[in-house]
Structures are given as C-alpha cells and as structure tokens.
C-alpha cells in the first residue's frame, strides 16, 4: 500500500506541527506492526473520508536572507515536495503576510504540485476571514482560515485536499488473475513456468507488459485466465554479464507490484534464506496475496515428518507471510504443479473479498467477549466501537476505537487471528487500521462510511 504524500510547508512557528497533529490525531504515528515500513518518523498516517495518506512535516522552511534570490531550501522540504501529491502551505493569520511567506510561495508556484493555503491561528470565524484575505496576494488561490489548536476549518481543508490526491491504487478488477513468479536464481522459476505452459494447452501468445522488455504470458485453465507477469525476466539468464549470484531483485519487486498473487518459489534443498525473507517482506508490504512454492521436493530425502518439519521451518523463518499457503512441488516431474493454480484461485478470491460490516462486528464482539482489550494501570481500557471493511486487495478493515495507543501488538495480533479464524482470508494479507475516535468532527465521518458498506 503506497499512500499518497501530503507535504506541510511553511516558515517556522506558523503552527505546522500543530496542524500535522490535528490532521493525524486519529491514527498512530506510522503503524509499527506492519513490517518494512521504512520511512522516518516525520511521515505520519492520516485519513479523511475514505482516503488514507501520509502527512510529512517539512520542518521550518528557512531561506537564506542574505542571498535574496537563491533560497537555501532544506533538503527535506525538497524531497518531501518532490514525492508529494499535494502540499499545504501554512501561514500565520495573526502575524499576517511576511516576506518569508512570499519567498516560499514563489518557490512553491514553480512546482507543479497543487498547493492549499492554510491561514492558521484563526480562532475567530469572522476575524479569520479578514485575516485570511491578506494572503490572496501569494497567488496560491483561496486562503483558508483554520485553527490547528481548535480544529476549526480543518474539515473544509481536508475535503479539498482529498480531491487533489490520486485515485486509490487498485489493480483493476478483471477476470484474469495476475501472477508473479519470484525467487532467487536457480530455485526453478523457469522450470515452473515451463511446467505451467506444458500442462495448460490453451496458451495464449506472449503479450508485452508495461516495461519495454517485460513479456507477460497468458495461460488458461477451466475458463480462468492467468497472466504470468514478466516471463522474460524469469527466462533471462544474464549470468554471463552479472555473474551467477546476480539477483534482479528490483525486477522481482516490480513484478510483485503488478501482481494479484505472488508465487514465492523456494528451493527445498536450501531452505529459507535471507533473500527469500526480503521478498516475503516486500510481498506483505505491497499487500499482495502469496503462495509459498517449495520446489525440488523430488530431491529431498523424506520420512513421515519431513513435510511437518519443513512447514515449521517456513513458518518460523517467513513470518511476514505466515498467512500464505505452502505447497511442495517438483517442477521437473510436474508433481503437484497443477495444484498451484488451485491455490492461486483461492488466494485471489480472498484477496478481493469483501465482508459486510455486520459480520465484521459479530466477529469483533465475540473476540472482545473472549478476551477484553488491555487496560492501563490507571484503569483506562481500550474500547472497540465497531469495525468496517474499507477496501479490498488486500482486505483492509478499519477499527474505530477510543484510543489506538491502548491496543498493544499482542492484542492486535489476537484480533487479526480471530478474523482469520472466523472468516478465513487464506493466502491474503489482512490490514487492520486502528483508528482513535476522538473529536466530534471525525466521529461524523466514519459513521457515514460504515453505512456505505
């Protein structure tokens, strides 16, 4: 799930951090129970209506007064702006327009990012409109009076902000299932591809993928089409150029991005390596469905415990994808290869699955009944008001609670476990979004959302 970024920009002391707190107060600072979230702490998660995004406070944007026309822009602000879908420029309504504001506005106008102008510290509504009118001259469109401290005006600002965010990244719901085959070199990806192609007669011709040399292949079985992503990348043998250890991990990452379901191919003889873990982490981060395909099973000496022991090994070492089904195959003999597609069907279906709000809340009620949320020493107890599924691919469930900080990782895992126990979700990651429900303004919105489902 790569969320759009909103950059908060302005000179020091106008109330940027206060505004960021206001916009992100409903969620934790960046979710810690999701593996692989690598951004630093200045990025915080926020949501409004049905949109999730990241807010980044750029810190005080300081321009060097001595070199009038060559502003020294803090690198952080530059970086933030370059990846931002929208920016909010904050100014101080009580102080009024300053030269520093003008310099920043000029700089912002040179970028193509849409900018909203928030005139902060406007606690009084009437007064605020007058204060705000001062800032029309910045050339950034309508100045919006807000008060980060009181929260007034921020709702209107957010309404407008989300219109500037790119549409939610969703792989289009089509009949075909996009499958990426990824893994280290020599685990048997090409052999597996050949096995698919061999067993499924109705092969449609290779079709070009999104990048220049990415060729996808269409395979059909039982009237279901599977698009095998970047088969050129699988077949490419560049050992000569790169050496036998070369592992095109970025190419694998790209394939994962485009997939609904990822086959993470492992070599039964090697067990799980660090590179396998890295791929698993990425699959989970990107919210893709996954199947662990343990290949070369023919070459393993087996007794009655082997499968059991091996499954344990996989579960221990690949905890990012502990929800993934595993299958033990031989691409060489074709053993169980056909079965992989059955698992793909299930995983894709679960990945796209939508569960009604009433069912989600039944599960929640039951879960809380068995095991109540933790309480602090001071006696403050976590409360879950209700939950509702906010998106699919992967299924994401928002849980509205009194204070998300009261829910520790253990309890979060417990709740996820209960969802899986009751509802399945085999083969797909499940996202739980823990959202504190505090202000009146915010309470209105989740309620609207719940009725939509």
Of residues 219, 296, 287, the one with CA closest to residue 256: 287
| One residue of 190, 273, 306, 361 binding ligand GDP per CB under 6 A | 190
| One residue of 331, 360, 397, 442 binding ligand GDP per CB under 6 A | 331
Q: Please tell me the distance from the alpha carbon of residue 210 to that of residue 189, in angstroms, as a whole number.
A: 21
Of residues 317, 210, 214, the one with CA closest to residue 271: 317
| One residue of 2, 12, 96, 238 binding ligand GDP per CB under 6 A | 12
Of residues 262, 253, 260, the one with CA closest to residue 233: 253
Pairing of strands 177-182, 261-267: parallel
Residue 204 vs residues 23, 180, 197, 200: alpha-carbon distances, Å = 49, 17, 10, 10
Per-residue contact flags (x/-) with ligand GDP for residues 105 to 144, judged by CB under 6 A: ---------------xx-x---------------------
Tell me: does residue 295 bind ligand GDP (CB under 6 A): yes
Residue number with CB closer to ligand GDP (11 or 227): 11
Q: Please tell me the distance from the alpha carbon of residue 116 to that of residue 161, in angstroms, as a whole number.
A: 7
Q: Which helix (H) or strand (E) holds 453?
A: none
Residue number with CB closer to ligand GDP (330 or 404): 330
Residue number with CB closer to ligand GDP (12 or 271): 12
Pairing of strands 203-208, 215-221: antiparallel
Q: Please tell me the distance from the alpha carbon of residue 369 to that of residue 359, in angstroms, as a whole number.
A: 15
Instruction: Give the Cβ contact number of residue 221 at 10 Å.
Output: 17
Residue number with CB closer to ligand GDP (123 or 349): 123
- For residues 346 and 260, the answer to whether their CB atoms sit within 8 Å is no
Residue whose structure tokens are 């970086």: 79
Residues 34-63 that bind ligand GDP (CB under 6 A): 60
Residue number with CB closer to ligand GDP (296 or 437): 296
- For residues 283 and 310, the answer to whether their CB atoms sit within 8 Å is no
CB of 147 to ligand GDP, least distance (A): 4
User: How far is C-alpha 380 from the geometric centre of its chain's CA atoms?
Assistant: 31
Residues 144-173 that bind ligand GDP (CB under 6 A): 147-149
CB of 80 to ligand GDP, least distance (A): 14
| One residue of 56, 80, 138, 187 binding ligand GDP per CB under 6 A | 187
| One residue of 44, 296, 431, 435 binding ligand GDP per CB under 6 A | 296
Residues facing residue 248 across a β-bridge: none
Q: Which stretch binds ligand GDP (CB under 6 A): 38-46, 196-204, 292-300, 301-309?
A: 292-300
Residue number with CB closer to ligand GDP (196 or 323): 196
Residues near 440 by Cβ (< 8 Å), separated by ≥ 6? none
Tell me: does residue 334 bind ligand GDP (CB under 6 A): no
- For residues 256 and 284, the answer to whether their CB atoms sit within 8 Å is no
Residues facing residue 51 across a β-bridge: 48
CB of 55 to ligand GDP, least distance (A): 12
Q: Which stretch binds ligand GDP (CB under 6 A): 8-16, 210-218, 391-399, 413-421?
A: 8-16
Tell me: does residue 16 bind ligand GDP (CB under 6 A): yes
Residue 212, phi then psi, degrees to nearest 5: -55, -45
Tell me: does residue 207 bind ligand GDP (CB under 6 A): no
Residue number with CB closer to ligand GDP (231 or 388): 231
Of residues 4, 102, 21, the one with CA closest to residue 61: 102
| One residue of 14, 46, 347, 442 binding ligand GDP per CB under 6 A | 14
Residues 375-434 that bind ligand GDP (CB under 6 A): none
Residue number, nearest CB to ligand GDP: 15
Counting Cβ atoms within 10 Å, is residue 378 exposed (0-12), middle (13-18) or buried (19+)?
A: exposed
Residue number with CB closer to ligand GDP (213 or 366): 213
Q: What is the DSSP letter of 66?
A: G
Tell me: does residue 95 bind ligand GDP (CB under 6 A): no
Tell me: does residue 188 bind ligand GDP (CB under 6 A): yes
Per-residue contact flags (x/-) with ligand GDP for residues 245 to 284, judged by CB under 6 A: ----------------------------------------
Number of residues engaging ligand GDP in binding (CB under 6 A):
31
| Six token digits for residue 352 | 């796209």
Residues that bind ligand GDP (CB under 6 A): 10, 12-18, 60, 120-121, 123, 147-149, 183, 185-191, 234, 295-296, 298-299, 330-332
């Amino acid at each position: 799930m790569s969320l759009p970024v909103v950059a908060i920009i302005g000179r020091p002391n106008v109330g940027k951090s206060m505004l960021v707190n206001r916009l992100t107060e409903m969620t934790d600072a960046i979710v810690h129970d999701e593996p692989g979230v690598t951004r630093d702490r200045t990025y915080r998660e926020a949501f409004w209506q049905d949109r999730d995004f990241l807010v980044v406070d750029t810190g005080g944007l300081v321009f060097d007064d001595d070199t009038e026309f060559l502003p020294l822009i803090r690198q952080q602000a530059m970086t933030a702006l370059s990846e931002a879908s929208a920016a909010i420029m904050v100014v101080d309504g009580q102080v009024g327009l300053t030269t520093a504001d003008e310099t920043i506005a000029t700089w912002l106008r040179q970028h193509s990012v849409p900018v909203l102008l928030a005139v902060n510290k406007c606690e009084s509504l009437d007064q605020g409109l007058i204060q705000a009118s001062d800032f029309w001259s910045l050339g950034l469109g309508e100045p919006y009076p807000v008060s980060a401290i009181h929260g007034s005006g921020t709702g209107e600002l957010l309404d407008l902000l989300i219109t500037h965010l790119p549409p939610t990244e969703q792989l289009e719901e089509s009949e075909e299932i996009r499958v990426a085959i990824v893994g280290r070199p020599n685990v048997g990806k090409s052999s597996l591809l050949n096995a698919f192609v061999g067993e499924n007669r109705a092969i449609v011709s290779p079709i070009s993928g999104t990048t220049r040399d990415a060729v996808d292949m269409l395979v059909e079985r039982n009237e279901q089409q599977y698009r095998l992503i970047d088969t050129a990348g699988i077949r490419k043998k560049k050992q000569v150029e790169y050496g036998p250890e070369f592992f095109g991990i970025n190419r694998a990452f790209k394939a994962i991005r485009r997939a609904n379901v990822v086959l993470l191919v492992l070599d039964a003889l090697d067990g799980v390596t660090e590179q396998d873990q890295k791929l698993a982490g990425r699959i989970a981060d990107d919210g893709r469905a996954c199947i662990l395909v343990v290949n070369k099973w023919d070459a393993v000496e087996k007794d009655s415990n082997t499968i059991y022991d091996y499954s344990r090994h996989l579960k221990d070492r690949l905890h990012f994808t502990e929800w993934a089904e595993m299958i033990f195959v031989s691409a060489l003999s074709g053993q169980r290869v056909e079965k992989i597609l059955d698992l793909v069907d299930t995983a894709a279906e679960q990945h796209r699955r939508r569960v009604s709000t009433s069912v989600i809340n039944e599960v929640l009620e039951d879960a809380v009944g068995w095991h109540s949320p933790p309480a602090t020493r001071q006696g403050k107890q976590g409360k879950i008001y209700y939950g509702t599924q906010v998106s699919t691919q992967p299924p994401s469930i928002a849980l509205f609670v009194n204070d998300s900080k009261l829910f520790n990782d253990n309890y979060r895992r417990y709740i996820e476990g209960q969802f899986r126990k009751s509802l399945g979700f085999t083969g797909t990651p499940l996202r739980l979004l823990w959202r504190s429900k505090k202000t009146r303004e915010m309470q209105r919105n989740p309620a609207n959302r719940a009725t939509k489902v």
